[in-house]
């Protein structure tokens, strides 16, 4: 078991050895608290865009469903006649220069897997740069936009924001509620009281703590042909290899089991690099992966490799809240 997996288990299940990391947690909190205070005081170089900026992020390490929600937000805003763009760090990307405008024909190695997925799915204008403020400026120099979505920029305090949405995995929660490295939190739990909305991925319904949203499987898509088929393509009890290189692979495997298939789980690290050899398993069975992983595998995929398309479905109350807030921001 990798060290990262052991830490995740300790954070979410508890382990007495984490007490030894409390001094490092104290130092970490000093740093993040200092950055937050400086931002609130308007200190340092903070860029405010001429259009509203909506940040989608989390306070925990690991996957919470940000990319599906970004995809939903893009389509929701477009349906209301808004011109929307996206900025992202582009984790693991190696573009020729920064900032970089992501194109659908880019490779995942150049653009990063999540930005490439977003552009290939929606065609949205998207710029990657570790400096989100610089990405916003580059995007606005190229496009006339009404709204910018910032993917995973909650802790990037050089960029002013008009709305902050925080996503939490409902099943995992906040673990031991401690900050790195003693726990999974990027910022103290008190930060949740300062954001505009909290969404719980997989929650049964809205609560006083936040809104519910779910990830709804919609289809299977073949990596080589692009053919999109119904979920009934595989019969109940179908055995298959399941690949997930995301922040929380078990959530993907649970989804496949809920579809009454029998997945053989192959978890990988988030943003893992794949090859045909790495994904050749025995026995020979259909292989199903996440859409995020698929953007890295199309060039060498076998005929029976598929990705599971999923769509975010936020609660009606959140949709109504968002529309009201957008109307206020955009006049």
Burial 214-246 (b: 16+ CB within 10 A, else e): bbeeebbbbbeeeeeeeeeebeeebebbbbbbb
The domain over range 3-212+314-330 is classified in CATH as 3.90.320: no
pLDDT in tens, 296-320: 999 999 999 999 999 999 999 999 9
pTM: 0.94
19: pLDDT confidence band, cut at 50, 70 and 90? very high
Which percentage of the chain shows pLDDT scores above 90? 92
2: pLDDT confidence band, cut at 50, 70 and 90? low
pLDDT in tens, 70-88: 999 999 999 999 999 999 9
Domain segments of the chain as ranges: 3-212+314-330, 215-312
pLDDT in tens, 175-191: 999 999 999 999 999 99
| pLDDT of 3 above 70 | no
For residues 1 and 29, the model is more confident at 29
> What three-state secondary structure class fits 270?
coil
Summary mean pLDDT of the chain:
95
| pLDDT of 1 above 50 | no
Task: Point out which residues pair with 193 in neighbouring strands.
Answer: none
What one-character-per-residue DSSP string does 113-173 give?
HHHHHHHHHH---EEE-SSHHHHHHHHHHH---SEEEEET-TT-TTB--SEEEEEEETTTT
pLDDT in tens, 44-54: 999 999 999 99
Output the pLDDT for position 331. Answer: 81
9: pLDDT confidence band, cut at 50, 70 and 90? confident
């Amino acid at each position: 078991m990798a060290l990262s997996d052991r830490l995740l288990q300790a954070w979410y299940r508890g382990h007495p050895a984490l007490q030894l990391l409390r001094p490092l947690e104290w130092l970490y909190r000093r740093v993040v608290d200092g950055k937050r205070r400086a931002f609130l005081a308007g200190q340092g170089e903070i860029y405010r865009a001429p259009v509203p900026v909506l940040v989608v992020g989390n306070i925990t390490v690991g996957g919470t469903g940000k990319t599906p929600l970004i995809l939903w937000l893009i389509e929701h805003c477009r349906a209301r006649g808004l011109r929307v763009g996206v900025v992202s760090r582009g984790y693991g990307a190696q573009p020729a220069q920064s900032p970089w405008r992501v194109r659908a024909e880019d490779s995942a190695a150049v653009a990063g897997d999540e930005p490439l997925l977003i552009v290939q799915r929606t065609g949205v204008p998207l710029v990657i740069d570790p400096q989100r403020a610089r990405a916003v400026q580059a995007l606005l120099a190229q496009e006339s936009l009404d709204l910018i979505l910032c993917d995973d920029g909650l802790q990037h305090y050089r960029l002013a924001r008009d709305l902050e949405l925080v996503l939490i995995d409902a099943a995992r929660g906040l673990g031991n509620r401690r900050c790195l490295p003693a726990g999974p939190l990027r910022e103290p739990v008190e930060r949740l009281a300062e954001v505009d909305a909290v969404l719980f991925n997989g929650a049964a319904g809205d609560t006083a703590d936040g809104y519910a949203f779910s990830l709804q499987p919609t289809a299977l898509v073949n990596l080589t042909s692009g053919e999109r088929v119904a979920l009934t393509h595989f019969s109940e009890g179908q055995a298959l290899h399941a690949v997930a290189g995301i922040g929380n692979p078990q959530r993907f495997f649970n989804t496949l089991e809920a579809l009454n298939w029998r997945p053989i789980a192959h978890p990988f690290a988030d943003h893992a690099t794949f090859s045909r050899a790495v994904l050749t398993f025995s026995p020979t069975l259909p292989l199903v992966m996440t859409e995020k992983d698929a953007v890295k595998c199309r060039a060498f995929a076998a005929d029976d490799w598929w990705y599971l398309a999923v769509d975010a479905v936020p609660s009606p109350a959140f949709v109504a809240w968002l529309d009201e807030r957008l109307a206020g921001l955009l006049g």
